[in-house]
Structure 1
Amino acid sequence: MSRSERLLELLQILRRHRHPVSGQDLAAELDISLRTLYRDIASLQAQGAVIEGEAGVGYVLRAGFTLPPLMFSQEEIEALVLGSRWVTTRHDTQLAQAARNALAKIAAVLPAALRDDLEASTLLVGPSARKEHPVPVDPDILGQIRLAIRQQSRLELHYADAEGQVSQRIIWPFGLGFFDQVQVVLGWCELRQDFRHFRTDRIQSLTILEGRYSRSRQSLLKDWRKAQNITREF
């Protein structure tokens, strides 16, 4: 790859890590020498990238340095289009509109050739293999759940189980899983003192409670993955 492509790839690698990454690991992933890596980091720093760290300690990219969308590769554009099209097939009208808006913003600043690639993408979202239709959910409920997750707010639910029995729960929501037919809230249940999953179509009502729950959603998600023996992204 060219040096400019390598610099972009180095930035992307650093963006994936919140904690310092050793120079050896960065050089190995880019298939370059440590000496070349140090020169590349110096070049990026000269261009305004706030890369902190040093040899023997590791490097981390601080927030604030952005690249223009014109640097997207064709594969990255295809991934954005495919993901956006998948979101628009879900029963979350707010996210569907947000996905369309995001693609429109990206298209507006792309060079003509890449904009044509975006608009002419032939990657399509197929129908579900299952015969059941998606269960409709009030978009306001989905919006409130996503807001509570972002704010790390406790949620009070009136929730019906598979037999229709309604119970009151207070949960710490930290994730929302989208499946073909349903959406599932991942939460720590104060009543059960354990992780529980709640189908959004069975939520009778919900209230966002004041204050934040005591743990971070990232920590809860990490422990949930361990409890479910999940080693990949959910």
Structure 2
Amino acid sequence: MRRADRLFQLVQLVRGRRLSTAEFLAQRLEVSVRTVYRDIADLQHHGVPIQGEAGVGYRLGKGFELPPLMFSHDEAQALVASVRVAQTWLDPEMANAALRGLSKILSVLPSGTRTAAQSLPLYAPLQALAPETHALLSGLRAAAQAQQRVHLSYCDEHGCSSQRSVQPLGCFFWGKVWTLAAWCEARESFRSFRLDRIQSWQLAQGPAAHFQASSGRTLADYLRANASEDAVSALTADS
């Protein structure tokens, strides 16, 4: 990679994250940490407002803009592939938004890059989610974003039904099924609920409808708690 290209990519990486360590940047750029330190010092010397220090991390100061971003042939094809695959498994609202976003990107690419991306011989035939799962996924995704409690009627892998009030944290796709990661107020712990086993659901209403993510109950806490678990376990059931 040319040094000019590496410097441009370094700025993009720092701009895309709240805080980037030199070790993270070195790994992504496939260079040494010492090279990252030198590149950052050069960028700072030329007026790029990268803030931070070695051993802590770096971020880009507000108000700094780069010229419009262009994509290589491979990057444009990767975007097309991602949207085509996602079309099968996303709810209609999100799938349509992905298509609109891709169309905007393709419209500003050079004709050669655009043609190469659109002619990518990779497809994901539409087959996947049942209409009711589409609607459920859309509703639960919105509830997680709004931090709104959800009441579930759930059937576990043994056929036992239960009523749950949960704080939805995020939806996860496992190549076969979607699951809802949530803080279960009945069990007072994290649980994963398969969407195809949710018998009915409704959004909580009233003054206590929304929740504030508290320490130990956030999505980051869920991910840390489940980092060592086999992904297959998420396909079984809530316990």
Is the contact made by 1:176 and 1:186 (CA closer than 8 Å) also made in structure 2? yes
4+ residue stretches of structure 1 with deviation over 6 A?
A: none
Is the contact made by 2:165 and 2:186 (CA closer than 8 Å) also made in structure 1? yes
Change (3 A) 1:67 1:150: farther
- Counterpart mapping for 1:38-187 below 5 A: 38-43=41-46, 45=48, 50-54=49-53, 58-62=57-61, 65=64, 70-90=69-89, 92-125=91-124, 134-162=129-157, 164-187=159-182
Which residue identity does 2:222 align to in structure 1?
L
Which of 185, 188, 193 is 1:190 aligned to? 185
Change (3 A) 1:172 1:4: same
Name 1:219's counterpart in structure 2: 220
Same amino acid, percent of matched pairs? 34
- Counterpart CA distance in 2 for 1:34 and 1:164 is 57
Shift of 1:150: 1.8
1:200 and 2:195 equivalent?
yes
Shift of 1:64: 5.9
- Counterpart CA distance in 2 for 1:172 and 1:227 is 22
Shift of 1:106: 0.8
- Counterpart CA distance in 2 for 1:171 and 1:221 is 14
| Residues 133-164 of structure 1, C-alpha deviations (whole Å, 9 max, x = no match) | 65543433212211122233322212233455
Worse-matched range after superposition: 150-159 or 83-92 = 150-159
Q: Give the gaps of 5 or more residues in structure 2.
A: 232-239
- Counterpart CA distance in 2 for 1:60 and 1:33 is 14
Is the contact made by 2:170 and 2:219 (CA closer than 8 Å) also made in structure 1? no
Count of residue correspondences: 222
| Residues 80-126 of structure 1, C-alpha deviations (whole Å, 9 max, x = no match) | 11111111112621222122111111112222222112211223337
Is the contact made by 1:157 and 1:169 (CA closer than 8 Å) also made in structure 2? yes
- Counterpart CA distance in 2 for 1:227 and 1:36 is 35
Shift of 1:225: 2.7
State the TM-score, normalized to the length of structure 2: 0.74
Change (3 A) 1:141 1:162: same
Change (3 A) 1:99 1:58: closer
Change (3 A) 1:94 1:67: farther
Shift of 1:221: 3.2
Which residue identity does 1:169 align to in structure 2?
R
SS at match of 2:89: coil
SS at match of 1:19: coil
Q: Give the gaps of 5 or more residues in structure 1.
A: none
Worse-matched range after superposition: 185-194 or 175-184 = 175-184
Change (3 A) 1:66 1:75: farther
Worse-matched range after superposition: 142-151 or 3-12 = 3-12
- Counterpart CA distance in 2 for 1:62 and 1:205 is 44
Is the contact made by 2:81 and 2:122 (CA closer than 8 Å) also made in structure 1? yes
| Residues 35-78 of structure 1, C-alpha deviations (whole Å, 9 max, x = no match) | 44411344461xxxx42124565422356656566422333222
Change (3 A) 1:40 1:139: same
SS at match of 1:212: coil
State the TM-score, normalized to the length of structure 1: 0.76
